[in-house]
């Protein structure tokens, strides 16, 4: 086992412990455990940042063609957005989704066989900076909005049923905080998703000679974009809020995750993550 694999195993262990302690602390209503879980996850995140930095510095072009690299980068991006939002909004509850999902994505990157993706070296900067950067940030924001939406629906149901909020639910912030998170994710995430999609079609034109080829991944991406555009319009332009936007963002994120995992692994596509 080489040094990188040892470090990856240590990062995975920190992410696992962080997620377990964070979720366990939240369910038990123990603030110290939540902070301890976040600290463990932060340690793993710091090591993860170092590994990604070294990999890109040493062999930039080679890493950008590895499918496992993108799963690792998505896990890192998700945690980066979580820590920023926790710092800005004091939204520790987002860790209930961010920590376990980052663990799953990172372990998936370790399990992948290093399949290669076609990427012309001349376009690596455009592809990485616009397509991947914008899309991964948008997906991270969607994940956080999904967590906020699920919490909103659960608490709203209890309030309408006149159930007493106790245990885990008693530690959660008011409904307005979840709705604020939803609005932030939709307002910032949709333009980024649009930028990532457009740059991807431009990259496809250079790589395969066609900007759109009815590839399953491309069709799914456009369908998700249409749903996201509808959500953006209703949320930002018409002032939708509450349960409607909570359910909508859950659907958009769920379809995004299904597209990334299901289509990339199970269907023949230019974006296949198979070795």
| pLDDT at residue 122, rounded to an integer | 47
With a cut of 90, say whether residue 45 has pLDDT above it. Answer: yes
| pLDDT at residue 1, rounded to an integer | 47
This prediction's pTM: 0.82
Q: Identify which of 87-91, 208-212, 232-236 has the greatest average pLDDT.
A: 232-236
pLDDT digits (tens, 9 = 90+) for 1-16: 477 778 889 999 999 9
Contact by Cβ (8 Å): 111, 12: no
pLDDT digits (tens, 9 = 90+) for 89-140: 777 778 888 889 899 888 887 776 555 555 555 455 556 667 788 888 998 9
| β partners of residue 66 | 116
CA dihedral 152, 158, 161, 165 (to 10 degrees): -140
Q: pLDDT category, 218, cuts 50, 70, 90?
A: confident
Instruction: Report the alpha-carbon distance of residue 100 to residue 149 in Å, rounded.
Output: 17
Average pLDDT over residues 67-85: 85
Residue bearing tokens 């949709």: 190
């Amino acid at each position: 086992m080489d040094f990188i694999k040892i470090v990856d195993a240590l990062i995975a262990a920190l992410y696992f412990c962080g997620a377990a302690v964070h979720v366990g602390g939240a369910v038990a209503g123990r603030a110290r455990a939540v902070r301890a879980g976040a600290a463990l996850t932060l340690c793993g995140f710091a090591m993860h940042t170092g590994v990604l930095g070294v990999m890109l510095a040493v062999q930039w072009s080679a890493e950008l063609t590895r499918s496992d690299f993108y799963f690792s980068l998505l896990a890192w991006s998700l945690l980066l957005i979580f820590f920023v939002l926790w710092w800005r909004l004091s939204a520790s509850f987002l860790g209930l989704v961010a920590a376990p999902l980052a663990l799953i994505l990172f372990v998936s990157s370790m399990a992948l066989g290093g399949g290669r993706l076609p990427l012309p070296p001349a376009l690596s900067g455009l592809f990485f900076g616009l397509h991947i950067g914008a899309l991964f940030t948008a997906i991270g924001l969607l994940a956080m909005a999904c967590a906020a939406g699920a919490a909103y629906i659960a608490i709203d149901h209890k309030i309408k049923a006149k159930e007493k909020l106790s245990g885990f639910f008693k530690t959660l912030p008011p409904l307005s905080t979840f709705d604020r998170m939803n609005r932030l994710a939709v307002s910032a995430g949709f333009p980024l998703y649009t930028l990532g999609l457009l740059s991807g079609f431009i990259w496809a034109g250079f790589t395969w000679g066609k900007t759109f080829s009815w590839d399953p991944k491309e069709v799914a991406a456009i369908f998700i974009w249409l749903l996201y555009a509808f959500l953006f319009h209703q949320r930002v332009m018409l002032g939708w809020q509450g349960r409607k936007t909570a359910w909508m963002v859950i659907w958009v994120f769920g379809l995004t995750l299904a597209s990334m995992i299901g289509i990339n692994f199970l269907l023949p596509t230019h974006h296949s993550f198979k070795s």
